[in-house]
Amino acid sequence: MLTLVGVMALWLVFLAPGYDRFIANVAVVVLHGLESPRITDSVRMDGADAVVSHTESFSALAKQRLDLRTHHNNAPFLIALILATPGLTRARRERTLLAGILLLAVTHVLNFILEVHWAYAVQNVGPCRVTDLRYLGRGFWQSLDNPAQAAKLALTSVREFYTHVGRLLAPIVLWVILCRDALAAFAPGGRVPTTAPRPNTR
């Protein structure tokens, strides 16, 4: 618990601002490559919020605000889990931390993209734009013959899952995968690593 509190304080004060800015900029570059026509123009940071602006063709859309502090608050949890894992050498712990943060950053970039395109779907623009308004009130299975509405509903379901479940599970899953050998030693029947006794030279 003390490890988590210390990491959380260090993260919020020193690391979060730069990390949030990095994730937002990378996500916008990816969005530029995915969108056709391009809807997303740029992003700027306003405190802990990322403010997404749109291209001239979609300037009527309101700027979107994403609270990245909430989106990225699982990073200190992953760091604390790795730091508290017994049986890791210093070099292995450092490699595991680097790999864990990089993999978690991928999920944060994907979440940023998901949030932006979910907002577009709600406003009925972009890839999920539904032109046949009869489908707007239908469920997923009744909308399979309308790819845009089916995609909109699927996007909403994925966002809901990640917001309420995936964000909490991501650091735990990464920790278990990256530290599986160290954790296996503490499972029933596992062998806890011990330091070999020094030979008695007397």
Write out pLDDT tens, residues 57-99. 999 999 999 999 888 999 999 999 999 999 899 999 999 999 9
Say whether pLDDT at 3 is over 90. Answer: no
Residue 199 in any domain: the answer is no
- Check pLDDT > 90 for residue 201: no
Sheet holding 40-46, edge to edge: 40-46, 49-54, 64-67
Residue 189 resides in a domain: no
Residue 200 is assigned to a structural domain of this protein: no
**192 falls within a domain:** no
For 90, the domain range is 2-184
Domain membership of residue 195 (yes or no) is no
- pLDDT per residue over 125-150, tens digit each? 998 888 776 766 677 767 778 888 88
Alpha-carbon span 127 to 175, nearest angstrom? 35
Q: Are 69 and 16 in contact (CB under 8 A)?
A: yes
Across the range 169-182, mean pLDDT stands at 96
Contact 50, 65 (CB under 8 A): yes
- Between these two residues, 49 and 189, which has the higher pLDDT value? 49
pLDDT at 22 over 90: yes
What would the two tokens of residue 42 be?
């740029």
Domain count, the chain: 1
The answer on pLDDT for 194 being more than 90 is no
| pLDDT value at 112 more than 60 | yes
- Output the pLDDT for position 189: 64
Query: What is the pTM (predicted TM-score) of this model?
Result: 0.85
pLDDT, position 144: 74
Mean residue pLDDT of the chain comes to: 88
Counts for the chain of helices (H) and strands (E), in that order: 8, 3
Q: How far apart are CA 156 and CA 178, in angstroms?
A: 30
